[in-house]
A = this chain, B = another copy of it.
Amino acid sequence: MKKLEAIIKPFMLDSVKEVLTGMEIQGITVTEVKGFGRQKGHTELYRGAEYTVDFLPKVKIEVVLKEELVEKAIEKITETASTGKIGDGKIFVSPIEEVVRIRTGERGESAI
């Protein structure tokens, strides 16, 4: 089992959620994060003073899924969340050794 962490632009959340649920993916966890990267921040004004805000609002989507779904999910997310502009974000894939469904105590792939 793998975990996909996709850092995307906030307004892409709904579309990405839709393509994922369109696959056999049943669960998603979303966190509001702030990102710093190649995309420049913006300047804000405060009584005539200008200051730079480096961190931009991003959304992190975490999905744990079976190995066989990984490639397809990456593809779908990439397709959907890409605007072609810098700052579209990243997907990180990492190993998950065990999954437990709290309600039932089920383990492994059936618990996803």
A residues bordering B, Cβ < 8 Å? 2-3, 6-8, 17, 21, 26-38, 54-55, 58, 60, 64, 74, 77-78, 81-103, 105, 111-112
Contacts and interface: CB of A to CB of B under 8 A. Distances in A.
Contact of A78 (B27, B28, B36, B100): B100
A88 B97 CA distance: 20
A95 B90 CA distance: 16
Determine how many copies of this chain the complex contains: 3
Given A88-B103, A92-B3, A102-B8, A31 B33 contact: yes
Nearest to A89: B102
A2 B93 CA distance: 10
B27 A36 contact: yes
